[in-house]
A and B are shown apart, each in its own frame.
Chain A
Amino acid sequence: MRIGVFFETYRGEEQLWDSPAAKAWLALFALAMLLLPWWGSDYIVAMACIVGIHLVATLGLNITTGGAGLISLSHAAFMGVGCYAVSWFARWGLPFYLALPLAGMLAALIGMLVGLPSLRVKGMYFAIATLAAHFVLGFLFREWTPVTGGPRGVTIPPASLFGLELTGDRRMFYLIYACALALGIAAANLGRSYVGRAFIAVRDRDISAEILGVDLLRTKVLAFMTGAFYAGVAGGLLGYFYGAITSEYFTFSLSVFYLAAIIVGGMGRVLGSVLGAVFMTLVPECLRLLSSATSAWMPSLANLLLPMGQVVFGLLIIGFLILEPHGLAQIWARIRRTFHLWPFRT
Protein backbone atom coordinates (compact mmCIF):
# COMPACT_ATOMS: atom_id res chain seq x y z
CA MET A 1 0.00 0.00 0.00
CA ARG A 2 1.33 3.40 -0.84
CA ILE A 3 0.30 6.76 0.50
CA GLY A 4 -1.91 8.70 -1.80
CA VAL A 5 -3.12 5.64 -3.68
CA PHE A 6 -6.63 4.52 -2.87
CA PHE A 7 -9.19 2.79 -5.00
CA GLU A 8 -12.77 3.88 -5.30
CA THR A 9 -14.11 0.98 -7.35
CA TYR A 10 -13.47 -2.74 -7.52
CA ARG A 11 -12.50 -2.20 -11.11
CA GLY A 12 -9.82 0.19 -10.02
CA GLU A 13 -8.36 -2.39 -7.67
CA GLU A 14 -8.05 -4.94 -10.44
CA GLN A 15 -6.11 -2.67 -12.77
CA LEU A 16 -2.52 -3.36 -13.66
CA TRP A 17 -1.50 0.17 -12.67
CA ASP A 18 -2.09 1.95 -9.42
CA SER A 19 -1.89 5.64 -10.23
CA PRO A 20 -2.33 7.91 -13.25
CA ALA A 21 1.43 8.37 -13.42
CA ALA A 22 1.95 4.61 -13.55
CA LYS A 23 -0.65 4.41 -16.30
CA ALA A 24 1.15 7.03 -18.33
CA TRP A 25 4.52 5.30 -17.93
CA LEU A 26 2.97 1.96 -18.88
CA ALA A 27 1.43 3.50 -22.01
CA LEU A 28 4.77 5.06 -22.96
CA PHE A 29 6.56 1.75 -22.46
CA ALA A 30 3.97 -0.09 -24.52
CA LEU A 31 4.36 2.45 -27.33
CA ALA A 32 8.14 2.15 -27.27
CA MET A 33 7.94 -1.63 -27.43
CA LEU A 34 5.40 -1.49 -30.26
CA LEU A 35 7.69 0.73 -32.28
CA LEU A 36 10.89 -1.11 -31.36
CA PRO A 37 11.33 -2.75 -34.79
CA TRP A 38 11.37 0.77 -36.23
CA TRP A 39 13.83 2.50 -34.00
CA GLY A 40 15.89 -0.53 -33.03
CA SER A 41 18.91 -1.85 -34.91
CA ASP A 42 18.97 -5.48 -36.09
CA TYR A 43 20.95 -6.41 -33.05
CA ILE A 44 18.52 -4.82 -30.60
CA VAL A 45 15.54 -6.47 -32.28
CA ALA A 46 17.25 -9.85 -32.24
CA MET A 47 18.11 -9.48 -28.56
CA ALA A 48 14.55 -8.39 -27.84
CA CYS A 49 13.22 -11.51 -29.54
CA ILE A 50 15.48 -13.76 -27.51
CA VAL A 51 14.47 -11.93 -24.33
CA GLY A 52 10.81 -12.41 -25.28
CA ILE A 53 11.23 -16.16 -25.69
CA HIS A 54 13.02 -16.43 -22.36
CA LEU A 55 10.27 -14.29 -20.84
CA VAL A 56 7.54 -16.73 -21.82
CA ALA A 57 9.47 -19.65 -20.37
CA THR A 58 10.27 -17.74 -17.17
CA LEU A 59 6.60 -16.85 -16.70
CA GLY A 60 5.81 -20.54 -16.79
CA LEU A 61 8.49 -21.53 -14.34
CA ASN A 62 7.40 -18.78 -12.00
CA ILE A 63 3.94 -20.33 -11.87
CA THR A 64 5.25 -23.81 -11.14
CA THR A 65 8.11 -23.00 -8.82
CA GLY A 66 7.37 -19.49 -7.62
CA GLY A 67 3.65 -19.99 -7.31
CA ALA A 68 3.20 -23.60 -6.28
CA GLY A 69 6.64 -24.28 -4.84
CA LEU A 70 7.37 -27.30 -7.04
CA ILE A 71 11.02 -27.16 -8.06
CA SER A 72 11.19 -28.05 -11.71
CA LEU A 73 14.58 -28.94 -13.15
CA SER A 74 13.08 -30.14 -16.42
CA HIS A 75 11.81 -26.84 -17.82
CA ALA A 76 14.28 -26.90 -20.69
CA ALA A 77 13.07 -30.37 -21.68
CA PHE A 78 9.48 -29.11 -21.91
CA MET A 79 10.70 -26.34 -24.17
CA GLY A 80 12.25 -29.01 -26.33
CA VAL A 81 8.96 -30.88 -26.50
CA GLY A 82 7.21 -27.71 -27.63
CA CYS A 83 9.86 -27.00 -30.24
CA TYR A 84 9.75 -30.45 -31.79
CA ALA A 85 5.95 -30.44 -31.66
CA VAL A 86 5.82 -27.15 -33.55
CA SER A 87 8.17 -28.52 -36.18
CA TRP A 88 5.75 -31.37 -36.81
CA PHE A 89 2.60 -29.26 -36.75
CA ALA A 90 4.13 -26.67 -39.04
CA ARG A 91 5.19 -29.33 -41.48
CA TRP A 92 1.66 -30.67 -41.52
CA GLY A 93 0.56 -27.22 -42.57
CA LEU A 94 -0.99 -25.97 -39.35
CA PRO A 95 -0.74 -22.21 -38.98
CA PHE A 96 1.13 -20.86 -36.01
CA TYR A 97 -1.96 -19.82 -34.07
CA LEU A 98 -2.94 -23.48 -33.94
CA ALA A 99 0.54 -24.97 -33.81
CA LEU A 100 1.73 -22.95 -30.81
CA PRO A 101 -1.19 -23.72 -28.46
CA LEU A 102 -1.17 -27.35 -29.53
CA ALA A 103 2.55 -27.59 -28.87
CA GLY A 104 1.94 -26.04 -25.48
CA MET A 105 -0.74 -28.59 -24.74
CA LEU A 106 1.52 -31.45 -25.75
CA ALA A 107 4.18 -30.11 -23.43
CA ALA A 108 1.54 -29.79 -20.72
CA LEU A 109 0.63 -33.43 -21.23
CA ILE A 110 4.24 -34.47 -20.73
CA GLY A 111 4.30 -32.12 -17.76
CA MET A 112 1.37 -33.97 -16.31
CA LEU A 113 3.27 -37.24 -16.57
CA VAL A 114 6.29 -35.73 -14.88
CA GLY A 115 4.18 -34.07 -12.22
CA LEU A 116 2.16 -37.15 -11.31
CA PRO A 117 4.67 -38.47 -8.78
CA SER A 118 4.37 -35.19 -6.89
CA LEU A 119 1.85 -36.54 -4.44
CA ARG A 120 4.06 -39.33 -3.22
CA VAL A 121 7.40 -37.66 -3.68
CA LYS A 122 8.05 -34.33 -2.05
CA GLY A 123 10.64 -31.63 -1.76
CA MET A 124 14.16 -32.43 -2.91
CA TYR A 125 13.26 -35.94 -3.99
CA PHE A 126 10.72 -34.45 -6.36
CA ALA A 127 13.23 -31.95 -7.69
CA ILE A 128 15.64 -34.74 -8.53
CA ALA A 129 12.80 -36.77 -10.03
CA THR A 130 12.28 -33.86 -12.43
CA LEU A 131 16.00 -33.98 -13.13
CA ALA A 132 15.63 -37.65 -13.99
CA ALA A 133 12.74 -36.75 -16.29
CA HIS A 134 14.94 -34.13 -17.94
CA PHE A 135 17.63 -36.70 -18.69
CA VAL A 136 15.12 -39.19 -20.03
CA LEU A 137 13.53 -36.58 -22.31
CA GLY A 138 16.97 -35.43 -23.42
CA PHE A 139 17.81 -39.00 -24.33
CA LEU A 140 14.61 -39.21 -26.39
CA PHE A 141 15.50 -35.98 -28.17
CA ARG A 142 18.88 -37.36 -29.13
CA GLU A 143 17.85 -40.89 -30.05
CA TRP A 144 14.28 -40.89 -31.33
CA THR A 145 15.38 -39.95 -34.80
CA PRO A 146 12.12 -40.40 -36.76
CA VAL A 147 10.40 -37.85 -34.55
CA THR A 148 13.11 -35.50 -33.40
CA GLY A 149 15.66 -35.91 -36.17
CA GLY A 150 18.15 -37.28 -33.68
CA PRO A 151 21.37 -35.33 -33.28
CA ARG A 152 20.70 -33.55 -36.57
CA GLY A 153 17.69 -31.81 -35.16
CA VAL A 154 14.74 -30.44 -37.07
CA THR A 155 13.96 -27.51 -39.28
CA ILE A 156 10.88 -25.42 -38.77
CA PRO A 157 9.27 -23.63 -41.70
CA PRO A 158 8.55 -19.98 -40.93
CA ALA A 159 5.21 -18.98 -39.50
CA SER A 160 2.79 -17.29 -41.83
CA LEU A 161 -0.21 -15.12 -41.13
CA PHE A 162 -2.76 -15.14 -43.96
CA GLY A 163 -0.01 -15.55 -46.49
CA LEU A 164 2.36 -13.00 -44.98
CA GLU A 165 5.45 -14.94 -44.00
CA LEU A 166 6.83 -14.05 -40.60
CA THR A 167 10.46 -14.20 -41.57
CA GLY A 168 13.00 -11.89 -40.13
CA ASP A 169 13.36 -10.72 -36.61
CA ARG A 170 11.18 -7.67 -37.00
CA ARG A 171 8.09 -9.71 -37.78
CA MET A 172 8.86 -12.45 -35.29
CA PHE A 173 9.19 -9.72 -32.66
CA TYR A 174 5.46 -9.01 -32.86
CA LEU A 175 4.53 -12.67 -32.71
CA ILE A 176 6.79 -13.29 -29.72
CA TYR A 177 5.62 -10.28 -27.79
CA ALA A 178 1.97 -10.88 -28.60
CA CYS A 179 2.35 -14.31 -27.03
CA ALA A 180 4.32 -12.89 -24.13
CA LEU A 181 1.69 -10.24 -23.47
CA ALA A 182 -1.20 -12.67 -23.61
CA LEU A 183 0.55 -15.22 -21.42
CA GLY A 184 1.75 -12.56 -19.00
CA ILE A 185 -1.75 -11.22 -18.47
CA ALA A 186 -2.95 -14.80 -18.07
CA ALA A 187 -0.31 -15.41 -15.41
CA ALA A 188 -1.27 -12.23 -13.57
CA ASN A 189 -4.92 -13.20 -13.64
CA LEU A 190 -4.08 -16.70 -12.53
CA GLY A 191 -2.46 -15.26 -9.43
CA ARG A 192 -5.68 -13.49 -8.54
CA SER A 193 -8.00 -16.42 -9.10
CA TYR A 194 -8.96 -19.37 -6.94
CA VAL A 195 -6.46 -21.59 -8.74
CA GLY A 196 -3.63 -19.17 -8.09
CA ARG A 197 -4.47 -18.90 -4.43
CA ALA A 198 -4.62 -22.69 -4.24
CA PHE A 199 -1.11 -22.79 -5.69
CA ILE A 200 0.16 -20.41 -3.03
CA ALA A 201 -1.56 -22.41 -0.31
CA VAL A 202 0.14 -25.57 -1.55
CA ARG A 203 3.47 -23.77 -1.69
CA ASP A 204 3.28 -22.57 1.87
CA ARG A 205 1.87 -25.62 3.64
CA ASP A 206 0.40 -28.36 1.58
CA ILE A 207 -1.01 -30.33 4.47
CA SER A 208 -2.95 -27.32 5.69
CA ALA A 209 -4.14 -26.66 2.18
CA GLU A 210 -5.44 -30.20 1.95
CA ILE A 211 -7.35 -29.75 5.15
CA LEU A 212 -8.86 -26.57 3.77
CA GLY A 213 -10.25 -28.50 0.85
CA VAL A 214 -7.64 -27.97 -1.85
CA ASP A 215 -7.23 -31.15 -3.92
CA LEU A 216 -3.47 -31.61 -3.66
CA LEU A 217 -2.85 -33.90 -6.62
CA ARG A 218 -4.97 -31.85 -8.99
CA THR A 219 -3.45 -28.58 -7.88
CA LYS A 220 0.14 -29.74 -8.08
CA VAL A 221 -0.32 -31.44 -11.42
CA LEU A 222 -2.14 -28.37 -12.74
CA ALA A 223 0.72 -26.14 -11.63
CA PHE A 224 3.17 -28.39 -13.41
CA MET A 225 1.04 -28.55 -16.53
CA THR A 226 0.66 -24.78 -16.69
CA GLY A 227 4.40 -24.22 -16.39
CA ALA A 228 5.00 -26.87 -19.04
CA PHE A 229 2.44 -25.23 -21.33
CA TYR A 230 4.31 -21.95 -21.15
CA ALA A 231 7.59 -23.75 -21.77
CA GLY A 232 6.07 -25.52 -24.77
CA VAL A 233 4.90 -22.25 -26.29
CA ALA A 234 8.32 -20.73 -25.62
CA GLY A 235 9.93 -23.71 -27.34
CA GLY A 236 7.63 -23.28 -30.32
CA LEU A 237 8.52 -19.61 -30.60
CA LEU A 238 12.17 -20.60 -30.36
CA GLY A 239 11.67 -22.95 -33.28
CA TYR A 240 10.04 -20.30 -35.43
CA PHE A 241 12.76 -17.84 -34.51
CA TYR A 242 15.81 -19.98 -35.24
CA GLY A 243 14.30 -22.07 -38.00
CA ALA A 244 16.47 -25.03 -37.13
CA ILE A 245 17.13 -26.54 -33.74
CA THR A 246 19.17 -29.43 -32.41
CA SER A 247 18.80 -31.34 -29.17
CA GLU A 248 21.98 -29.77 -27.83
CA TYR A 249 20.08 -26.58 -27.11
CA PHE A 250 17.92 -28.03 -24.29
CA THR A 251 20.52 -28.71 -21.63
CA PHE A 252 20.32 -28.83 -17.87
CA SER A 253 22.11 -25.46 -17.81
CA LEU A 254 19.10 -23.95 -19.56
CA SER A 255 16.80 -25.18 -16.79
CA VAL A 256 19.22 -23.70 -14.28
CA PHE A 257 19.19 -20.44 -16.24
CA TYR A 258 15.43 -20.17 -15.87
CA LEU A 259 15.57 -20.99 -12.18
CA ALA A 260 18.15 -18.27 -11.76
CA ALA A 261 15.90 -15.88 -13.68
CA ILE A 262 13.01 -16.38 -11.31
CA ILE A 263 15.23 -16.12 -8.24
CA VAL A 264 16.89 -12.96 -9.43
CA GLY A 265 13.64 -11.49 -10.69
CA GLY A 266 11.41 -12.39 -7.81
CA MET A 267 9.48 -15.58 -7.26
CA GLY A 268 5.75 -15.63 -7.67
CA ARG A 269 5.34 -12.27 -9.39
CA VAL A 270 4.82 -11.54 -13.08
CA LEU A 271 7.00 -8.45 -12.83
CA GLY A 272 9.63 -10.69 -11.29
CA SER A 273 9.56 -12.95 -14.34
CA VAL A 274 9.91 -9.96 -16.67
CA LEU A 275 12.80 -8.42 -14.78
CA GLY A 276 14.50 -11.76 -14.25
CA ALA A 277 14.31 -12.79 -17.91
CA VAL A 278 15.58 -9.42 -19.13
CA PHE A 279 18.38 -9.30 -16.58
CA MET A 280 19.64 -12.83 -17.07
CA THR A 281 19.63 -12.54 -20.85
CA LEU A 282 21.33 -9.18 -20.93
CA VAL A 283 24.06 -9.79 -18.37
CA PRO A 284 26.09 -12.21 -20.55
CA GLU A 285 25.62 -9.86 -23.51
CA CYS A 286 26.85 -6.89 -21.49
CA LEU A 287 29.83 -8.90 -20.34
CA ARG A 288 30.62 -9.76 -23.93
CA LEU A 289 30.34 -6.17 -25.04
CA LEU A 290 32.50 -5.14 -22.11
CA SER A 291 35.17 -7.67 -22.95
CA SER A 292 35.24 -6.73 -26.62
CA ALA A 293 35.39 -3.06 -25.69
CA THR A 294 38.34 -3.62 -23.38
CA SER A 295 39.97 -6.16 -25.69
CA ALA A 296 42.12 -3.42 -27.12
CA TRP A 297 44.14 -2.87 -23.96
CA MET A 298 43.44 -6.16 -22.14
CA PRO A 299 43.33 -8.88 -24.81
CA SER A 300 43.58 -11.77 -22.37
CA LEU A 301 40.23 -10.77 -20.92
CA ALA A 302 38.42 -12.11 -23.97
CA ASN A 303 39.72 -15.59 -23.26
CA LEU A 304 38.20 -15.47 -19.85
CA LEU A 305 34.79 -14.35 -21.03
CA LEU A 306 32.92 -17.57 -20.47
CA PRO A 307 34.42 -18.47 -17.09
CA MET A 308 33.99 -14.85 -16.00
CA GLY A 309 30.40 -15.06 -17.11
CA GLN A 310 29.97 -18.11 -14.92
CA VAL A 311 31.59 -16.40 -11.97
CA VAL A 312 29.33 -13.40 -12.40
CA PHE A 313 26.31 -15.68 -12.73
CA GLY A 314 27.19 -17.44 -9.51
CA LEU A 315 27.89 -14.21 -7.65
CA LEU A 316 24.63 -12.72 -8.86
CA ILE A 317 22.59 -15.63 -7.59
CA ILE A 318 24.31 -15.84 -4.25
CA GLY A 319 24.25 -12.07 -3.90
CA PHE A 320 20.57 -11.82 -4.58
CA LEU A 321 19.75 -14.70 -2.29
CA ILE A 322 21.68 -13.20 0.59
CA LEU A 323 20.89 -9.55 0.10
CA GLU A 324 17.52 -9.45 -1.63
CA PRO A 325 15.75 -12.81 -1.56
CA HIS A 326 12.60 -11.36 -3.10
CA GLY A 327 14.53 -10.35 -6.15
CA LEU A 328 14.56 -7.44 -8.52
CA ALA A 329 10.81 -7.02 -8.25
CA GLN A 330 11.22 -6.07 -4.61
CA ILE A 331 14.00 -3.62 -5.42
CA TRP A 332 11.78 -2.14 -8.10
CA ALA A 333 8.86 -1.82 -5.71
CA ARG A 334 11.11 -0.13 -3.18
CA ILE A 335 12.37 2.36 -5.72
CA ARG A 336 8.85 3.17 -6.80
CA ARG A 337 7.78 3.65 -3.23
CA THR A 338 10.66 6.01 -2.59
CA PHE A 339 9.92 8.14 -5.61
CA HIS A 340 6.16 8.04 -5.29
CA LEU A 341 5.90 11.25 -3.30
CA TRP A 342 9.40 12.57 -4.01
CA PRO A 343 10.73 15.04 -2.93
CA PHE A 344 8.52 14.62 0.07
CA ARG A 345 9.41 11.69 2.31
CA THR A 346 6.75 9.13 3.06
Chain B
Amino acid sequence: MNARQSLQPLLRYGILIGVGFVMIYPLLWMIGGAFKPNSEIFSSIGFIPQSPTFDGLEKGWKTSTEYTFATYFANTFAIIIPKVIVTVISSVIVAFGFARFSVPGRRFLFGVLIATVLLPKSVLLIPQYLMFREFGWLDTFLPLYVPSAFATEGFFVFMIVQFMRSFPPDMEEAAMMDGCNSLQVLFYVVVPVILPAVISVALFQFMWSINDFLGPLIYLSSVENYPISLALKMSIDVTEATQWNQVLAMSTLALLPSLIVFFVAQRYFVEGISLGSVKG
Protein backbone atom coordinates (compact mmCIF):
# COMPACT_ATOMS: atom_id res chain seq x y z
CA MET B 1 0.00 0.00 0.00
CA ASN B 2 2.73 2.40 0.97
CA ALA B 3 4.85 1.71 -2.06
CA ARG B 4 1.93 2.42 -4.34
CA GLN B 5 1.15 5.63 -2.53
CA SER B 6 4.66 6.98 -2.90
CA LEU B 7 4.82 5.78 -6.48
CA GLN B 8 1.74 7.70 -7.48
CA PRO B 9 3.10 11.22 -7.04
CA LEU B 10 6.32 10.17 -8.72
CA LEU B 11 4.42 8.83 -11.68
CA ARG B 12 2.35 11.96 -11.93
CA TYR B 13 5.33 14.25 -11.79
CA GLY B 14 7.12 12.12 -14.32
CA ILE B 15 4.30 12.36 -16.84
CA LEU B 16 3.75 16.05 -16.22
CA ILE B 17 7.37 17.01 -16.56
CA GLY B 18 7.94 14.80 -19.57
CA VAL B 19 4.93 16.03 -21.48
CA GLY B 20 5.52 19.59 -20.36
CA PHE B 21 9.04 19.57 -21.64
CA VAL B 22 8.07 18.22 -25.03
CA MET B 23 5.33 20.84 -25.24
CA ILE B 24 7.48 23.80 -24.41
CA TYR B 25 10.50 22.75 -26.39
CA PRO B 26 9.44 24.19 -29.74
CA LEU B 27 9.00 27.57 -28.08
CA LEU B 28 12.31 27.42 -26.27
CA TRP B 29 13.89 26.37 -29.51
CA MET B 30 12.31 29.29 -31.31
CA ILE B 31 13.63 31.77 -28.77
CA GLY B 32 17.06 30.19 -28.95
CA GLY B 33 17.00 30.27 -32.72
CA ALA B 34 16.37 33.99 -32.62
CA PHE B 35 19.82 34.44 -31.20
CA LYS B 36 21.68 31.97 -33.37
CA PRO B 37 23.49 32.70 -36.57
CA ASN B 38 21.71 31.17 -39.53
CA SER B 39 24.26 28.44 -40.00
CA GLU B 40 23.87 27.12 -36.48
CA ILE B 41 20.13 26.65 -36.66
CA PHE B 42 20.28 23.61 -38.83
CA SER B 43 23.16 22.03 -37.06
CA SER B 44 22.25 21.79 -33.40
CA ILE B 45 19.19 20.66 -31.50
CA GLY B 46 20.08 22.41 -28.27
CA PHE B 47 18.25 25.63 -27.81
CA ILE B 48 21.04 27.55 -26.20
CA PRO B 49 23.05 29.28 -28.92
CA GLN B 50 26.68 28.33 -29.13
CA SER B 51 27.62 31.63 -30.65
CA PRO B 52 24.86 34.01 -29.73
CA THR B 53 24.30 36.99 -31.93
CA PHE B 54 21.78 39.75 -32.47
CA ASP B 55 22.11 39.35 -36.21
CA GLY B 56 18.77 37.61 -36.61
CA LEU B 57 16.97 40.25 -34.62
CA GLU B 58 18.57 43.17 -36.39
CA LYS B 59 18.11 41.97 -39.94
CA GLY B 60 14.72 40.49 -39.17
CA TRP B 61 13.50 43.78 -37.80
CA LYS B 62 14.56 45.67 -40.86
CA THR B 63 13.01 43.02 -43.10
CA SER B 64 13.63 42.86 -46.80
CA THR B 65 10.71 45.15 -47.47
CA GLU B 66 10.69 48.93 -47.32
CA TYR B 67 9.12 48.85 -43.85
CA THR B 68 10.56 47.68 -40.58
CA PHE B 69 8.76 45.64 -38.01
CA ALA B 70 8.06 48.86 -36.20
CA THR B 71 5.44 49.60 -38.85
CA TYR B 72 3.98 46.14 -38.59
CA PHE B 73 3.78 46.29 -34.82
CA ALA B 74 2.15 49.68 -35.00
CA ASN B 75 -0.42 48.33 -37.43
CA THR B 76 -1.18 45.41 -35.18
CA PHE B 77 -1.85 47.69 -32.25
CA ALA B 78 -3.83 50.10 -34.41
CA ILE B 79 -6.18 47.20 -35.03
CA ILE B 80 -6.25 45.54 -31.65
CA ILE B 81 -6.60 48.47 -29.32
CA PRO B 82 -9.77 49.87 -30.88
CA LYS B 83 -11.07 46.33 -31.19
CA VAL B 84 -10.62 45.54 -27.50
CA ILE B 85 -12.10 48.85 -26.43
CA VAL B 86 -15.25 48.57 -28.51
CA THR B 87 -15.65 44.93 -27.60
CA VAL B 88 -15.62 45.72 -23.90
CA ILE B 89 -18.03 48.62 -24.20
CA SER B 90 -20.54 46.86 -26.42
CA SER B 91 -20.37 43.58 -24.52
CA VAL B 92 -21.05 45.26 -21.19
CA ILE B 93 -23.95 47.27 -22.56
CA VAL B 94 -25.58 44.33 -24.29
CA ALA B 95 -24.98 42.03 -21.31
CA PHE B 96 -26.66 44.58 -19.04
CA GLY B 97 -29.65 44.56 -21.35
CA PHE B 98 -29.89 40.78 -21.18
CA ALA B 99 -29.23 40.41 -17.50
CA ARG B 100 -31.41 43.12 -15.99
CA PHE B 101 -34.24 44.04 -18.32
CA SER B 102 -37.37 42.07 -19.07
CA VAL B 103 -37.43 42.57 -22.79
CA PRO B 104 -40.00 40.63 -24.82
CA GLY B 105 -38.38 37.60 -26.43
CA ARG B 106 -35.33 37.87 -24.21
CA ARG B 107 -34.86 34.16 -23.85
CA PHE B 108 -35.14 33.62 -27.55
CA LEU B 109 -32.61 36.35 -28.29
CA PHE B 110 -30.23 34.93 -25.72
CA GLY B 111 -30.50 31.59 -27.46
CA VAL B 112 -29.70 33.32 -30.73
CA LEU B 113 -26.67 34.89 -29.06
CA ILE B 114 -25.39 31.48 -28.06
CA ALA B 115 -26.11 30.16 -31.53
CA THR B 116 -23.90 32.84 -33.05
CA VAL B 117 -21.04 31.63 -30.88
CA LEU B 118 -21.39 28.19 -32.42
CA LEU B 119 -21.88 29.48 -35.95
CA PRO B 120 -19.01 28.59 -38.29
CA LYS B 121 -17.73 31.93 -39.48
CA SER B 122 -16.54 30.70 -42.87
CA VAL B 123 -20.09 30.78 -44.12
CA LEU B 124 -20.26 34.55 -43.53
CA LEU B 125 -16.87 35.35 -44.95
CA ILE B 126 -17.67 36.05 -48.58
CA PRO B 127 -20.74 38.24 -48.16
CA GLN B 128 -19.01 40.20 -45.39
CA TYR B 129 -16.11 40.83 -47.75
CA LEU B 130 -18.43 41.98 -50.51
CA MET B 131 -20.33 44.16 -48.07
CA PHE B 132 -17.16 45.87 -46.87
CA ARG B 133 -16.11 46.31 -50.45
CA GLU B 134 -19.35 48.14 -51.13
CA PHE B 135 -18.66 50.34 -48.10
CA GLY B 136 -15.25 51.16 -49.53
CA TRP B 137 -13.50 49.74 -46.47
CA LEU B 138 -11.07 47.45 -48.24
CA ASP B 139 -7.45 47.92 -47.30
CA THR B 140 -8.44 49.71 -44.10
CA PHE B 141 -8.58 48.41 -40.55
CA LEU B 142 -12.32 49.07 -40.25
CA PRO B 143 -13.62 45.63 -41.20
CA LEU B 144 -11.39 44.18 -38.52
CA TYR B 145 -12.85 45.99 -35.56
CA VAL B 146 -16.15 47.65 -36.46
CA PRO B 147 -18.20 44.44 -36.16
CA SER B 148 -16.90 44.05 -32.59
CA ALA B 149 -18.57 47.34 -31.71
CA PHE B 150 -21.84 45.51 -32.19
CA ALA B 151 -21.13 42.72 -29.74
CA THR B 152 -20.77 40.18 -32.52
CA GLU B 153 -18.59 38.00 -30.31
CA GLY B 154 -21.37 36.44 -28.31
CA PHE B 155 -19.03 34.53 -26.05
CA PHE B 156 -18.01 37.72 -24.27
CA VAL B 157 -21.57 38.86 -23.77
CA PHE B 158 -22.39 35.45 -22.38
CA MET B 159 -19.50 35.59 -19.92
CA ILE B 160 -20.50 39.00 -18.61
CA VAL B 161 -24.16 38.08 -18.34
CA GLN B 162 -23.31 35.04 -16.22
CA PHE B 163 -21.13 37.18 -13.98
CA MET B 164 -23.80 39.86 -13.61
CA ARG B 165 -26.40 37.28 -12.74
CA SER B 166 -24.25 36.00 -9.90
CA PHE B 167 -24.83 39.28 -8.03
CA PRO B 168 -28.18 39.94 -6.35
CA PRO B 169 -29.79 43.13 -7.61
CA ASP B 170 -29.85 44.79 -4.17
CA MET B 171 -27.00 47.19 -4.88
CA GLU B 172 -28.57 48.27 -8.11
CA GLU B 173 -31.91 48.79 -6.37
CA ALA B 174 -30.18 50.89 -3.75
CA ALA B 175 -28.60 52.93 -6.53
CA MET B 176 -31.98 53.36 -8.17
CA MET B 177 -33.35 54.64 -4.91
CA ASP B 178 -30.40 56.97 -4.73
CA GLY B 179 -31.75 58.51 -7.88
CA CYS B 180 -29.68 56.85 -10.60
CA ASN B 181 -31.10 56.10 -14.02
CA SER B 182 -30.09 52.77 -15.52
CA LEU B 183 -27.01 54.13 -17.28
CA GLN B 184 -25.74 55.67 -14.04
CA VAL B 185 -26.35 52.41 -12.22
CA LEU B 186 -24.39 50.61 -14.92
CA PHE B 187 -21.48 53.01 -14.83
CA TYR B 188 -21.18 53.81 -11.13
CA VAL B 189 -22.24 50.56 -9.52
CA VAL B 190 -22.33 47.59 -11.91
CA VAL B 191 -19.13 48.07 -13.88
CA PRO B 192 -16.86 48.51 -10.85
CA VAL B 193 -18.30 45.36 -9.34
CA ILE B 194 -17.97 43.21 -12.48
CA LEU B 195 -14.50 44.50 -13.26
CA PRO B 196 -12.80 41.07 -13.11
CA ALA B 197 -15.08 39.77 -15.84
CA VAL B 198 -14.51 42.89 -17.92
CA ILE B 199 -10.78 42.47 -17.63
CA SER B 200 -11.07 38.82 -18.65
CA VAL B 201 -13.00 39.85 -21.74
CA ALA B 202 -10.40 42.45 -22.65
CA LEU B 203 -7.57 39.97 -22.22
CA PHE B 204 -9.22 37.21 -24.22
CA GLN B 205 -10.09 39.56 -27.04
CA PHE B 206 -6.53 40.85 -27.04
CA MET B 207 -5.11 37.36 -27.37
CA TRP B 208 -7.54 36.20 -30.02
CA SER B 209 -7.17 39.34 -32.12
CA ILE B 210 -3.43 39.47 -32.05
CA ASN B 211 -3.39 36.06 -33.72
CA ASP B 212 -5.97 36.97 -36.33
CA PHE B 213 -4.64 36.04 -39.74
CA LEU B 214 -7.51 35.39 -42.13
CA GLY B 215 -9.12 38.77 -41.45
CA PRO B 216 -6.06 40.84 -42.33
CA LEU B 217 -5.28 38.43 -45.15
CA ILE B 218 -8.44 39.14 -47.06
CA TYR B 219 -8.97 42.79 -46.21
CA LEU B 220 -5.49 44.31 -46.28
CA SER B 221 -3.66 44.55 -49.55
CA SER B 222 -1.00 47.22 -49.06
CA VAL B 223 2.13 46.03 -47.35
CA GLU B 224 2.27 49.24 -45.37
CA ASN B 225 -0.97 48.20 -43.64
CA TYR B 226 0.19 44.72 -42.80
CA PRO B 227 0.02 43.67 -39.16
CA ILE B 228 2.62 41.31 -37.72
CA SER B 229 0.72 38.18 -38.72
CA LEU B 230 0.87 39.04 -42.41
CA ALA B 231 4.41 40.35 -42.22
CA LEU B 232 5.59 37.09 -40.72
CA LYS B 233 3.90 35.06 -43.39
CA MET B 234 5.50 37.29 -45.97
CA SER B 235 8.93 36.62 -44.54
CA ILE B 236 8.70 32.93 -45.34
CA ASP B 237 7.27 33.52 -48.78
CA VAL B 238 10.50 34.84 -50.20
CA THR B 239 11.74 32.77 -53.07
CA GLU B 240 15.40 32.86 -52.23
CA ALA B 241 16.78 30.97 -49.26
CA THR B 242 14.85 31.86 -46.12
CA GLN B 243 16.93 33.43 -43.43
CA TRP B 244 15.52 31.29 -40.68
CA ASN B 245 17.24 33.01 -37.85
CA GLN B 246 15.55 36.23 -38.86
CA VAL B 247 12.21 34.52 -39.16
CA LEU B 248 12.57 32.93 -35.75
CA ALA B 249 13.68 36.22 -34.27
CA MET B 250 10.62 37.99 -35.58
CA SER B 251 8.37 35.12 -34.55
CA THR B 252 9.67 35.45 -31.03
CA LEU B 253 8.99 39.16 -31.05
CA ALA B 254 5.54 38.55 -32.49
CA LEU B 255 4.68 36.31 -29.58
CA LEU B 256 6.13 38.64 -27.01
CA PRO B 257 3.02 40.78 -26.41
CA SER B 258 0.90 37.66 -25.92
CA LEU B 259 3.45 36.16 -23.56
CA ILE B 260 3.74 39.31 -21.48
CA VAL B 261 0.00 39.80 -21.22
CA PHE B 262 -0.51 36.16 -20.38
CA PHE B 263 2.02 36.03 -17.59
CA VAL B 264 0.92 39.30 -16.08
CA ALA B 265 -2.76 38.39 -16.11
CA GLN B 266 -2.81 34.60 -15.81
CA ARG B 267 -5.43 34.57 -13.13
CA TYR B 268 -8.01 36.24 -15.35
CA PHE B 269 -7.59 33.68 -18.10
CA VAL B 270 -8.22 30.68 -15.98
CA GLU B 271 -11.09 32.29 -14.09
CA GLY B 272 -12.52 33.59 -17.31
CA ILE B 273 -12.64 30.16 -18.85
CA SER B 274 -14.31 28.52 -15.89
CA LEU B 275 -16.80 31.35 -15.82
CA GLY B 276 -17.82 30.72 -19.35
CA SER B 277 -17.89 26.96 -19.38
CA VAL B 278 -18.22 24.97 -16.21
CA LYS B 279 -20.61 27.39 -14.63
CA GLY B 280 -22.30 28.01 -17.93
Answer yes or no: do A and B interact. Answer: no
Interface residues of A (CB under 8 A from B): none
